[in-house]
């Protein structure tokens, strides 16, 4: 950078290097995985960020391709996206699932195209049914792979008392489970972790307490209050199966709530005008 001798030097606010081998555009997703409840009044939301990698900026279109198997699932991005030189632009992605959309996890390619440039990310959409009704865990029979001491028994997760808790020995594969009085179609589990939580765990279900199926896998556990959604029919037993501890201690839960799948809310029907 040069300027006329004796003149004032220019003010530089930002230096942006341009590399010939850098991509013309980059695409990222703020949250690459979403839970979407069928029939929900409010769409699930994440944000796609497009970043320009060339001095001239970039103008293109953002699109999402929903597989045919996900009938009723809609992903609505803004079609036209313009990113200025050296800048980035965030575009909301609104995801809805109509009542009747099949439960499951769908890989949705999200693509930004500008001329000969195409960049893509994959959004994992987990479609689940709505839940409601009473907490089915209250009063359920609770057992575990082992309790740290008699002061922290498995029964504490289902006694309805927020001041009692279950704690396990310091083992990654420790578990705690609930036995329900009758089979039910479960749709969610709410876990209330104490400071000793799981960074990775599974929600497993069973009809007989012997044969287990993974209903959900959590690989980014953050502790606190976590809601895990799934769709599991004929459930008599639910197990929180530890995979990896977030601390040097065992797992510790203040409580677990369980909710059954409920019918989605129906849209209001407009009144019919009386015939003259």
- The residues spanned by each domain of the chain are 25-128, 132-261
132-261 has the same fold as 25-128: no
C-alpha atoms less than 13 angstroms from C-alpha of 7 in its C-beta half-sphere: 7
With bands split at pLDDT 50, 70 and 90, how would you rate the model's confidence at 272? low
The pLDDT, as a whole number, for residue 268 is: 47
CATH number assigned to the domain with residue range 132-261, chosen from the 4 options 2.160.20.10, 3.90.1150.10, 2.60.120.10, 2.60.120.260: 2.60.120.260
Nearest Cα residue to 183 out of 139, 227, 136: 136
CB atoms within 10 A of CB 250: 21
Residue 16 has pLDDT above 70, yes or no: no
Collapsing DSSP states into helix, strand and coil, what is residue 33?
strand
- Bridge partner list, 17: none
Q: Mean pLDDT across the chain, nearest whole number?
A: 91
| Structural contact between residues 144 and 175, judged by C-beta atoms closer than 8 angstroms | yes
**What is the pLDDT, as a whole number, of residue 54?**
78
CA nearest to 154, candidates 234, 249, 239: 239
What is the Cα–Cα distance from 199 to 221, expressed in whole angstroms?
4
In this predicted structure, which of 83-87, 125-129, 242-246 has the lowest mean pLDDT? 83-87
Instruction: Give backbone dihedrals phi and psi of 157, rounded to 5 degrees, phi first.
Output: -75, -10
Q: Is the pLDDT of residue 264 over 80?
A: no
pLDDT tens track for 103-144 = 999 999 999 999 888 999 999 999 999 999 999 999 999 999
User: Rounded to whole angstroms, how far apart are CA atoms 129 and 46?
Assistant: 20
**Dihedrals φ, ψ of 18, to 5°?**
-120, 130
What pLDDT does residue 116 have? 87
Inter-residue contact 126 to 35 (CB < 8 Å): yes
- The CATH classification number of 25-128 equals 2.60.40.2310
pLDDT tens digit sequence for 32-54: 999 999 999 999 999 999 998 87
User: What share of the chain in percent tops pLDDT 90?
Assistant: 79
């Amino acid at each position: 950078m040069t300027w006329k001798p004796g003149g004032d030097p220019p003010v530089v606010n930002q230096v942006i290097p341009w590399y010939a081998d850098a991509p013309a555009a980059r695409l990222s997703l703020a949250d690459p995985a979403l839970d979407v409840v069928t029939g929900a009044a409010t769409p699930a939301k994440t944000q796609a960020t497009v970043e320009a990698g060339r001095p001239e900026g970039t103008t293109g279109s953002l699109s999402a391709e929903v597989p045919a198997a996900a009938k009723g699932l809609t992903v609505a991005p803004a079609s036209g996206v313009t990113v200025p030189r050296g800048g980035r632009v965030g575009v909301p992605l609104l995801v809805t699932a109509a009542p009747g959309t099949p439960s499951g996890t769908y890989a949705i390619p999200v693509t930004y195209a500008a001329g000969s440039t195409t960049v893509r990310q994959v959004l994992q959409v987990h479609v689940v049914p709505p839940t409601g009704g009473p907490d089915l865990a209250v009063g359920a029979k609770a057992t575990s792979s082992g309790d740290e001491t008699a002061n922290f028994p498995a029964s504490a997760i289902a006694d309805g008392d927020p001041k009692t808790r279950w704690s396990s020995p310091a083992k990654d594969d420790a578990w705690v489970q609930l036995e329900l009085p009758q089979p039910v179609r479960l749709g969610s589990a709410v876990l209330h972790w104490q400071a000793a939580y799981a960074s990775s765990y599974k929600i497993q279900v069973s009809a007989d307490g012997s044969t287990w199926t993974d209903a959900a896998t959590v690989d980014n556990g953050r502790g606190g209050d976590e809601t895990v959604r799934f769709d599991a029919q004929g459930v008599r037993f639910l197990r929180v199966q530890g995979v990896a501890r977030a601390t040097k201690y065992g797992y510790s839960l203040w409580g677990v709530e369980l909710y059954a799948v409920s019918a989605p809310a129906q849209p209001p029907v407009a009144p019919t005008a009386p015939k003259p």
